[in-house]
């Protein structure tokens, strides 16, 4: 028999634990060869209220076991998103959450209000790794109070699931996690990419036109696992683990470390079937243990 | 689009440091059109796939042409017959052909020869007369394979054919121009033939349209994706100064004298 892989994230039940990470799955229509039965949910490419052109190339560079990206949140804006994609999403048998971004707290709120209630929009993942224009460009996610302000602005405008995607580029991730939990987040996603840099020794300049970029891929997995575990120990809401997950063992590590679900991102670039591989591998692992449900998986969450 | 675990079934040298590899991937081979590419995954290997223009396709086999320029290409060139590579493709939007043109010039430089054999095939199928103008640094760097009727060679040092660039070597008028080569060469193509179709080279992440890593800056503003809307563009539609003109694929070759660059150390590359 097939093990029950469904998970509950607050009031949201997903048919499996593997979610497509924002920015690695487009708007759900692009990735080929996907076995959709294994997909629990999709988080859309990050969107702002208005269209954004993105950063000049080069936008990506491969690094040891990872990649740096600085795409600049290129996107069509809320209006085009609702026109071109939401109608497609409303016919799918898994939820699509929209990854939302803003330059001000008010902009996050306004974007949420525009998307809330539109058929096809299944919830929100709040990207707090954006510079706060009103605070001299300091990232919302680096400041527990600003992170909580953004979370509240979104929470006030929707009853749909609100996930907050935490940045690892902070001193104390647990403090930010508790602040956004208190502000009403239904789940926390840990973690976003790590800030990184690579220099081109032909031009003596950064390889990315944006100078810095977000590091993803297996290179960050142990770092991300540690942070996801710290978050899981410090909040009551479910935690969704993210960071370099490419295979079922990687995902199981995050689940044992206290995560309720995982997101697969960069791995999809190399293998369009990566999500299916993770999902089916978890099922096979549970069956090999004689377990009938993911809920039987032991968790490592010491209280000290 | 297909994904196949495809065995290496062909390897031959076609110029100094330049090799053709063939993989048995019948569905990909049957579907490939000129200007499209395949994204090759190595396991074990680098994290990301490596994109290559389809050089030849037929008889169940997809061929690519490459030089060792970094980790991925070096690993590909060390494969043995029967070794498996994940072939994802055909990807991207290739060249268009219109019988009304009557004639077409294929203009390529260096590894820009990659899409030209298929372009000649598809152009002939559209009833066009084909003239290939191909340039490289020296006679040793020109590709040796061409099954068309008319070809003009150009070399920087004049060791074979016209001395100068492939663009400068084009003398006649043609109904259309299709070009591929280093981005500075394609910028020169855009100056001379704004309506030419050019196949650009960019860094690439996924190859399937999701990562937005292969951004091509457009004169109309904004970016689109070399892997989906491209890699073939109308030459004048690309904002050439904003497109990186030189792509460096590896972090090591400038660093250590004890570790010579694979791009110049032809003797290291198994034939």
Q: Is the peptide bond before A191 cis (omega within 30 degrees of 0)?
A: yes
Contact A244, A21 (CB under 8 A): no
Q: Is B201 helix (H, G, I), strand (E, B) or coil?
A: coil
Same domain, B82 and B105: no
Q: Tell me what the mean pLDDT of segment B72-94 comes to.
A: 97
CA distance, residue A63 to nearest chain B CA (Å): 9
Beta bridge partners of A138: A132
Question: What tokens appear for A138 in the block?
Answer: 């300091």
Domains of chain A and CATH, by start: 7-296 (3.20.20.70)
Contact A69 B205 (CB under 8 A): yes
Pick from B62, B91, B120: which residue ends a domain? B91
- Per the annotation, the verdict on A130 as an active-site residue is yes
Contacts of B96 (CB under 8 A, 6+ apart): B197, B232
Judge: B211–A54 Cβ closer than 8 Å, yes or no: no
Q: Give a yes or no: residue B180 inside a domain.
A: yes
Q: Is any Cβ of chain A less than 8 angstroms from the Cβ of B45?
A: no
> CA geometry: angle at A79 spanning A53 and A192, to 5°?
55
Is the CB of residue B217 less than 8 Å away from at least one CB of chain A? Answer: yes
**Helices A105-115 and A144-155, interaxial angle, to 10°?**
30
Q: Are residues B229 and B119 in the same domain?
A: yes
> Quick one: B81 and B109 in the same domain?
no
CATH number at residue B54: 2.40.30.10
pLDDT in tens, B258-269: 433 333 333 222
Residue (of B267, B16, B244) closest to B137 by Cα position: B16
Assess whether B192 and B132 both reside in one domain.
yes
Residue B247 is assigned to a structural domain of this protein: no
Selected catalytic residue, list A130, A240, A261, A278: A130
Element holding B119 (H helix, E strand) = helix B116-125
Nearest CA in chain A to B225: A57
Q: Give residue A33's pLDDT.
A: 64
State the DSSP string of chain A: ---B--EEETTEEESSSEEEPTTSSTTSSS--S--GGG--EEEPPPB-SS-B--PPSP-EEEETTEEEE-----B-HHHHHHHHTHHHHTTSSS-EEEEE--SSHHHHHHHHHHHTT-TT--EEEEE--SEEGGGTTEEGGGSHHHHHHHHHHHHTT-SS-EEEEE-S-SS-HHHHHHHHHHTT-SEEEE--PEEEE-EETTTTEESSTTSEEEEESGGGHHHHHHHHHHHHHH-SS-EEEESS--SHHHHHHHHHTT-SEEEE-THHHH-TTHHHHHHHHHHHHHHHHT-SBGGGS-------
Please state the φ and ψ torsions of residue B11, each to the nearest 5 degrees: -150, 125
The answer to whether residue B263 sits within a structural domain is no
The three-class DSSP label of residue B185 is helix
**Structural domain of residue B86, as residue ranges?**
2-91
Looking at B56, B74, B91, the residue that finishes a domain is B91
- pTM of the prediction? 0.92
Residue at B259 is within a domain: no
Find out whether A127 and A100 touch, Cβ atoms under 8 Å. Answer: yes
In a domain, B187, yes or no: yes
Q: Residue B206: its chain A contacts at CB < 8 A?
A: 24, 268-270, 272
Least CB–CB distance from A270: residue in B41, B217, B243: B41
Residues A17 and A183: their CA atoms lie apart, in Å, by: 25
Select the residue of B210, B211, B243 nearest A60 (Cβ to Cβ): B211
Name the CA dihedral angle for A257, A13, A265, A285, rounded to a multiple of 10 degrees: 50
Same domain, B73 and B192: no
In a domain, B252, yes or no: no
Task: Choose the mutation target among B38, B43, B92, B211 for the interface with A, i.e. most A CBs under 10 Å.
Answer: B211
Same domain, B82 and B160: no
Residue with tokens 């290291």: B268
Residue B262, pLDDT score = 37
Residues B84 and B104 in one domain: no
* Closest chain A C-alpha to B146 CA, distance in angstroms: 33
In Å, how far is A84's CA from the nearest CA of chain B?
16
Specify the higher pLDDT residue, B144 or B32. B32
CB contact under 8 A, A58 and B217: no
CATH number of residue B233's parent domain? 3.40.50.80
Overall number of domains in chain B: 2
Give pLDDT tens digits for B222-241: 999 999 999 999 999 999 99
Is residue B55 domain-shared with residue B118, that is, in the same domain? no
**Domain end residue (candidates: B91, B111, B143):** B91
Residues B76 and B133 in one domain: no
Segments in chain A below pLDDT 70: 1, 33, 304
The answer to whether residues B47 and B111 belong to one domain is no
The pLDDT mean for chain B works out to: 90
Whether the pLDDT of residue B271 is over 60: the answer is no
**Residue B249 pLDDT class (50, 70, 90 cuts):** low
Rounded Cα gap, residues B217 and B227, in angstroms: 13
Q: What is the pLDDT of residues A168-180, one digit of tens each?
A: 999 999 999 999 9
Distances (CA, A) of B108 to B26, B216, B234: 27, 20, 16
Please tell me whether residues B237 and B105 are part of one structural domain.
Answer: yes
In a domain, B209, yes or no: yes
CB A43 within 8 A of CB A25: yes
Together in a domain, B77 and B182: no
> Contact at 8 Å (CB) between B187 and B227?
no
Token output for B251: 């972090």
Whether residue B268 lies inside any domain: the answer is no
Residues 73-112 of B with CB under 8 A from A: 86, 88
CA dist B59 and B116 (Å) reads 18
> Which one, of A186, A183, A144, lies nearest residue A167 by Cα?
A144
pLDDT, mean of residues B85-101: 97
At residue B258, the pLDDT reads 40
Instruction: Name the percent of chain B lying above pLDDT 70.
Output: 90
């Amino acid at each position: 028999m097939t093990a029950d892989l469904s998970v509950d994230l607050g009031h949201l039940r997903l048919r499996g634990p593997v979610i497509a990470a924002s920015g690695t799955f487009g708007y759900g229509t692009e990735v080929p060869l996907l076995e959709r039965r294994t997909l629990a949910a999709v988080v859309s490419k990050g969107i702002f209220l208005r269209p954004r052109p993105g950063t000049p190339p080069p936008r990506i560079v491969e690094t040891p076991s990872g990649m740096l990206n600085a795409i600049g949140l290129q996107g069509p804006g809320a209006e085009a998103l609702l026109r071109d994609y939401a109608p497609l999403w409303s016919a799918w048998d898994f939820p699509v959450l929209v990854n939302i971004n803003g330059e001000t707290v008010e902009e996050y709120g306004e974007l949420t209000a525009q998307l809330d209630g539109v058929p096809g929009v299944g919830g929100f993942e709040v990207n707090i790794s954006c510079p706060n224009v009103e605070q001299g460009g300091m990232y919302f996610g680096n400041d527990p109070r600003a992170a909580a302000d953004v979370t509240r602005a979104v929470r006030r405008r929707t009853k749909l699931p609100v996930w907050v995607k935490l940045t690892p580029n902070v001193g104390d991730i647990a403090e930010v996690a508790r602040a956004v939990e208190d502000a009403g987040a239904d789940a926390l996603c840990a973690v976003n990419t790590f800030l990184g840099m690579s220099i081109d020794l032909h031009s003596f300049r950064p390889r990315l036109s944006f100078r810095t970029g977000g590091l993803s891929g297996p290179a960050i997995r142990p770092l991300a696992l540690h942070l996801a575990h710290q978050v899981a120990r410090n909040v009551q809401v479910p935690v969704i683990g993210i960071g370099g997950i490419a295979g079922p063992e990687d995902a199981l590590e995050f689940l044992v470390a206290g995560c309720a679900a995982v997101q697969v991102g960069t791995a999809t670039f190399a293998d369009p079937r990566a999500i299916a591989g993770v999902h089916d591998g978890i099922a096979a692992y549970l069956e090999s243990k004689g377990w009938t449900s993911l809920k039987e998986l032991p968790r490592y969450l010491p209280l000290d | 689009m297909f994904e196949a675990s495809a065995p290496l079934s062909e390897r031959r040298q076609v110029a100094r440091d330049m090799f053709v590899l063939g993989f048995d991937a019948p569905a990909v081979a049957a579907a490939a059109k000129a200007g499209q590419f395949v994204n090759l995954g190595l396991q074990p290997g680098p994290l990301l796939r490596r994109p290559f223009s389809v050089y030849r396709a037929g008889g169940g086999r997809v061929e690519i042409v490459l030089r060792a320029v970094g980790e991925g290409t070096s690993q590909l060139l060390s494969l043995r017959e029967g070794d498996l590579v994940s072939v994802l493709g055909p990807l991207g939007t290739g060249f268009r052909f219109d019988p009304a043109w009557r004639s077409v010039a294929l203009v390529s430089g260096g590894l820009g020869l990659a899409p030209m054999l298929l372009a000649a095939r598809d152009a002939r199928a559209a009833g066009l007369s084909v003239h290939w103008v191909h340039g490289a640094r020296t006679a040793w760097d020109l590709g040796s394979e061409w099954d068309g009727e008319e070809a003009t060679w150009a070399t920087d040092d004049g060791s074979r054919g016209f001395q100068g660039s492939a663009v400068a070597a084009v003398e006649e008028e043609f109904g259309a121009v299709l070009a591929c080569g280093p981005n500075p060469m394609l910028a020169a193509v855009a100056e001379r033939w704004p309506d030419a179709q050019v196949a650009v080279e960019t860094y690439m992440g996924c190859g399937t349209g999701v990562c937005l890593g292969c951004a091509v800056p457009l004169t109309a503003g904004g970016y689109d994706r070399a892997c989906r809307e491209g890699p073939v563009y109308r030459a004048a539609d690309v904002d050439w100064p904003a497109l990186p003109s030189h792509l460096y694929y590896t972090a090591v070759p400038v660093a250590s004298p004890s570790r010579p660059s694979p791009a110049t150390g032809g003797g290291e590359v198994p034939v």
